Copies of this chain bind each other. A is one copy, B any other.
Amino acid sequence: MKKPILFETGCHHCNVRMNSVFNVLEGDHLSEMSMHKSCNIYKKGQYVFSEHGLPTGLYCINSGKIKIATTGYDGKEQILRLAKSGDIIGYRALLSNERYASSAITLEDASICLIEKDFFFRSMETTPKLMFEVVKKMSRDLKEAEDHIVSLSQKNVRERMAEALLFLKATYGLEEDQQTILVNLSREEIADYVGTSTESCIRLLSEFNHDKIIELKGKKIKIINLPLLIQTANIED
């Protein structure tokens, strides 16, 4: 059932580049970049980088889903962001010259490039467009974080849980055949994103199931009443 992992050799031929901040790079610059990056394969559950570690470069996801999480109080994990193919990760610590404040852990087998720190900084300096791309990415992440703050402050757990399912669908999409949410997060991990207890998370999913909003097939979640889910999430506009 495992998907084949593509080994990327040159940035010219990279099939995710145009979906990444590097879409603005051209010709020679790309050849040069190929010399300053390495590509690695990660097994499901592996750390790409760890909290408190020092960044050595910028990670760019070729394939695979990643969670960005930090250790909160009493060691409880907090999922801050989810990343996918084309996303750069670990850029915040790199840009502000700090240690990582969070860890990146693969949710499935993944292939991720590491672009050398020095080369990346030089590229940004010589190619303002690249820097603007990075800035735009950071802007989106900041906006998302602020939306999350409003949600955590003002919505109840039921609403946030519905919102989280919509977020997962928007981020990773649906499985082609089953139409289930295309990410293998445990109930605990969903709880760690929503900001609730594992039991409450399980209970609410069970309630959504009874209410015919979703259908639980094993650990897979299928959205069967999207309008009702949107209504449950209490989303406006």
Contacts of A111 in B (CB 8 A): none
Residue pair B146, A146 in contact (C-beta under 8 Å): no
Select one of B74, B96, B143 contacting A140, CB under 8 A: B96
Contacts of A134 in B (CB 8 A): 135
Nearest-neighbour CB distance to chain B for A233, whole angstroms, equals 10
Nearest-neighbour CB distance to chain B for A104, whole angstroms, equals 14
- What is the chain B residue whose CB lies nearest that of A141? B142
Contacts A145-B149, A148-B149 given; does A234 touch B128 at CB 8 Å: no
Q: Does A19 count as interface, using CB distance less than 8 angstroms?
A: no
Q: Does A136 count as interface, using CB distance less than 8 angstroms?
A: yes
Query: Which chain A residues in 99-149 approach chain B with CB under 8 Å?
Result: 101-102, 124-125, 128, 131-132, 134-136, 138-143, 145-146, 148-149
Q: Does A80 count as interface, using CB distance less than 8 angstroms?
A: yes
Q: How large is the interface on A (under 10, 10 to 19, 20 to 34, 35 or more residues)?
A: 35 or more
Assembly CA distance A124 to B132 (angstroms): 10
Contacts of A153 in B (CB 8 A): 72, 78, 152, 194-195
Select one of B96, B132, B138, B152 contacting A149, CB under 8 A: B152
Residue pair A150, B96 in contact (C-beta under 8 Å): no
Q: Does A12 count as interface, using CB distance less than 8 angstroms?
A: no
Select one of B76, B145, B234 contacting A73, CB under 8 A: B234
Assembly CA distance A236 to B74 (angstroms): 10
Residue pair B143, A101 in contact (C-beta under 8 Å): yes
Residue pair B150, A70 in contact (C-beta under 8 Å): yes
Assembly CA distance A57 to B72 (angstroms): 37
Assembly CA distance A155 to B193 (angstroms): 14
Residue pair A146, B143 in contact (C-beta under 8 Å): no
Q: Does A187 count as interface, using CB distance less than 8 angstroms?
A: no
17 additional contacts, CB 8 Å, given A78-B153, A80-B150, A153-B195? A74-B154, A78-B149, A80-B146, A92-B143, A95-B136, A98-B139, A101-B146, A102-B146, A124-B128, A138-B138, A142-B142, A145-B146, A148-B149, A149-B149, A149-B152, A149-B195, A153-B194
